[in-house]
Amino acid sequence: MTELHGALDKLAPLTFSEVPTTDLETFLRGLLSAGELICNSVPPPPGGDDFHSSRPAHAEPDTASSAKDVAASAARFPETHPSHADLQKSWGKPYKFSAKDNPLDVQVYKMAAHDRHGAWFARRSVHEGISFTKMKRAMQTEFVKSLATEGGPGAGAVRGIGVDRRIEKLQAGKTGQVEVYQLSAQFPGPTTPREFVTLLMTSEDALTTRSAPDGQHIPRHYMIMSRPVKHPEAGERSGYILGKYESVELIREVPLHTSTRSASTSNLLQHNEAHDHATGRDRGSTISYAESRGKQAKGIDAADLNPVEWIMVTRSDPGGGIPRFMVERGTPSSIIADVGKFFDWACSSDEVSNADTVEAGEALERQRSAPTANGDVTAPAPAAESAIHAPSQVINAPPGDTNQEGYLDGAKRVIGAGIDAYAPTQVAEWLRPVSPRPDVVEDDDSSSDSSYESADDYLTAGHMSAESLPITESLPSAQSSPELGKLTGIQEHDKELKKLDEHKQKLDQKMDKTREADIRKLAALHATSATDQEKAKQKVERDMKKNEEKHKREVEKLEAKRLKELEKAQKKRQKQLDRDTVSRVTRERDDFRRRIEMIQRENELLREQIGDVQKENTALINKLSKLAGGDLALQTIRDEISSSRKRAT
């Protein structure tokens, strides 16, 4: 357990100055080692078949065209190193979902953190229908696709993320790449946009022989690690709230025996050992399992038939004082939805395999970072939130269509749910309704002990009584009456007033059109005879008078209805004031009653104390009078008391 938390500490926030750019490969290798331990600590899906006895479900690679075509595979990756397998007990029991909410059989786990910064969530699943090659290419181009797309927040996002710009891109030898991205997101409703600055590390050479099925040959894989980073070129932007997330994501192929023509594993191992000895292979070098078994063991495309295992461990803080329990409540369903959304995009071979997307992203990045004539750098356009490779957590996931809803969308729903919970009802009505989350069962032992800062800054809305509205001869419009515009949407009666206002505007527009038509008719009469002109003129005048009277009656009805609604609103307000007064008087009465009872109790206590003092005085006087000279001493005391009373008066 301590070893696992030590590895998770490697994902903690840092400053870019802490990144050793001169010895980047050593730095990255240490982080990848921690990432391997973290991913191997996630328990595998229950059941399934050993990879030696499993067979591919498809005869051709990349048969899936969407997430619905991707199947959950029964093949299981071989047991990892015993030191890693022992850590799988740290995650406890998996969440339970219905088959409808979790069609890809993704196992989700939760583990309490030891640093009081939120619980960790993990998911692990095995899939067929999409090859490792295509899935890796999709992950490599996901950020580039978002970067190459112009538009508002979320433009070009696959899993709800948009990239503002790439600040750094460093090569760590043959081990992998280290990049710094600036991301942003806009939540629905009256909320402040979020921004994230992440140190993104990727590698195709992240695993060691501890993850090798036979302890020797490492399957193809691709690892992505994300850490919050503070970069001097990514200062805080006005109008944004800074959030952070930490994550590790790993995809790797599950090597299968796919043909009766396959050579024996023992012979192939001997052949490859001789080959490795002759050519010299560095520790940790990754090769395809099909390659490790030789061309005689598999067909040319056999490796792409292997199932792909997908593991992700993450936690996040969207910032802005969102309570942690809201973030963690929706995370399980949201990270499941991420899987479906990614497959829907990745299975589209035209988008993923198009090299123009990468070139366009690189060109756009150079254009955004190019200095202008005055030496300034073009500011990036706002984009959407939370990392694609390691999406940020959020909060309340609905039961329906999880494949169409991503990790970021869950965070947006959670903020909406927070507004419903903490804001006034009138404000909450402006937001989209939040669907209930699916019933999930989690281990209580894995719950987090602390929470983020409470959302105590409530949203407020302006309020206006009907009493303060001016009563005029005409019905006020939203433009002529700002007070009515503020009142609209807050009270039930005021909504009705808004409807009446809109109705009156439609009547006025209709009347204007009718007048224009009558004027055109009068103008056309000049081309007719005098008799026809007179008849037509009379008819037009009758129609105009009729329309004017009809319009006047309808306006009078609207005015009467408006006054009635105002009267209702005023009565309702008066009733509320009366109820408040009664409540206030009742509280004051109860308060006085409590005070009287307290005074009565004090009086009883004082009476008892006076009685006790009197008894003691009587006993002392009796004893003192029996002593020699006692009467004289008593007389002296009485005289002193009498004189002190006279001075007091």
pLDDT, tens only, 587-636: 999 999 999 999 999 999 999 999 999 999 888 888 888 887 888 888 88
What is the arithmetic mean of pLDDT over 136-163? 77
Helix (H) or strand (E) holding 510: helix 492-524
Residue 350 and residue 353: Cα distance in Å, rounded? 6
For residue 258, name the pLDDT band (cuts at 50, 70, 90).
very low
What is the arithmetic mean of pLDDT over 113-127? 91
pLDDT for residue 351: 52
SS3 301: coil
Q: Residues 209, 210, 214, CA angle at the centre, nearest 5°?
A: 65
Residue 223 and residue 248: Cα distance in Å, rounded? 7
Higher local confidence (pLDDT), 488 or 174: 174
Query: Residue 177 has what DSSP assignment?
Result: E
Helix (H) or strand (E) holding 185: strand 176-185
Lowest mean pLDDT among 230-244, 392-406, 486-500: 392-406
Q: Model-level pTM? A: 0.54
Lowest mean pLDDT among 100-104, 267-271, 282-286: 267-271
pLDDT for residue 454: 35
Q: Which of 224, 221, 201 is nearest to 285 (CA)?
A: 221
In this model, does residue 369 exceed pLDDT 60? no
pLDDT for residue 493: 61
Q: Which of 328, 312, 330, 326 is nearest to 387 (CA)?
A: 312
Residue 23 and residue 32: Cα distance in Å, rounded? 15
Whole-number average pLDDT of the chain: 74
pLDDT for residue 308: 94
Compute the residue count for the chain: 649
Selection from 12-21, 60-69, 109-118, 387-396 with the highest mean pLDDT? 12-21
Q: What percent of the chain has pLDDT over 70?
A: 67
What is the arithmetic mean of pLDDT over 427-449? 40
What is the arithmetic mean of pLDDT over 18-41? 94
In this model, does residue 17 exceed pLDDT 90? yes
Selection from 2-16, 49-63, 146-160, 205-219 with the highest mean pLDDT? 2-16
Lowest mean pLDDT among 61-70, 371-380, 413-422, 552-561: 371-380
Please, what sign has the CA dihedral across residues 483, 489, 492, 498?
positive
Residue 555 and residue 528: Cα distance in Å, rounded? 36
Supply the Cα-derived Rg of the chain in whole angstroms. Answer: 39
pLDDT for residue 424: 37
Q: What are phi and psi of 395, to 5 degrees?
A: -120, -80
For residue 367, name the pLDDT band (cuts at 50, 70, 90).
low
Residues 6+ apart with CB under 8 A from 374: none
Q: Answer whether 223's CB lies under 8 Å from 252's CB.
A: no
pLDDT digit string, tens, across residues 337-348 = 989 999 998 988
**Please, which residues bridge with residue 202 across strands?**
177, 224
Helix axes 132-147, 355-369, angle to 10 degrees: 30
pLDDT for residue 649: 74
pLDDT for residue 301: 63
SS3 245: strand
What is the arithmetic mean of pLDDT over 245-269? 64
Q: Which of 327, 256, 328, 340 is nearest to 297 (CA)?
A: 256
506-523 CB burial, b ≥16 within 10 A, e <16 = ebeeebeebeeebeeeee
In order, the DSSP letters of 540-604 are HHHHHHHHHHHHHHHHHHHHHHHHHHHHHHHHHHHHHHHHHHHHHHHHHHHHHHHHHHHHHHHHH
Residue 343 and residue 104: Cα distance in Å, rounded? 11
pLDDT for residue 463: 38
In this model, does residue 417 exceed pLDDT 60? no
In this model, does residue 34 exceed pLDDT 90? yes
Spell out where 59-175 has E strands. 71-72, 75-76, 107-111, 120-128, 162-172
pLDDT for residue 585: 94
Query: Residue 120 has what DSSP assignment?
Result: E
pLDDT for residue 352: 57
Q: Answer whether 362's CB lies under 8 Å from 147's CB.
A: no
Higher local confidence (pLDDT), 464 or 566: 566
In this model, does residue 476 exceed pLDDT 80? no
Residue 541 and residue 522: Cα distance in Å, rounded? 9
Higher local confidence (pLDDT), 322 or 305: 305
Q: Which two tokens stand for residue 377?
A: 């750098």
Q: Which two tokens stand for residue 600?
A: 């009565």
For residue 225, name the pLDDT band (cuts at 50, 70, 90).
very high
Q: Answer whether 333's CB lies under 8 Å from 404's CB.
A: no
In this model, does residue 419 exceed pLDDT 70? no
pLDDT for residue 412: 52
Higher local confidence (pLDDT), 361 or 248: 248
Lowest mean pLDDT among 208-212, 517-521, 585-589, 608-612: 517-521
pLDDT digit string, tens, across residues 307-317 = 999 999 999 88
Lowest mean pLDDT among 71-80, 482-491, 512-521: 482-491
Residue 279 and residue 265: Cα distance in Å, rounded? 21
Work out the widest C-alpha separation in the chain, in whole angstroms.
147
What is the arithmetic mean of pLDDT over 231-240? 88
Lowest mean pLDDT among 5-9, 383-387, 617-621: 383-387
Higher local confidence (pLDDT), 416 or 290: 416
In this model, does residue 452 exceed pLDDT 80? no
Q: Answer whether 32's CB lies under 8 Å from 177's CB.
A: no
Give the number of other CB atoms < 10 A from CB of residue 573: 16
Higher local confidence (pLDDT), 266 or 130: 130
In this model, does residue 255 exceed pLDDT 90? no
Lowest mean pLDDT among 388-397, 524-533, 598-607, 626-635: 388-397
Give the number of other CB atoms < 10 A from CB of residue 360: 16
For residue 151, name the pLDDT band (cuts at 50, 70, 90).
low
In this model, does residue 406 exceed pLDDT 90? no
Residues 6+ apart with CB under 8 A from 381: 150, 151, 152, 155, 164
Lowest mean pLDDT among 36-50, 457-471, 589-603: 457-471
Helix (H) or strand (E) holding 311: strand 308-317
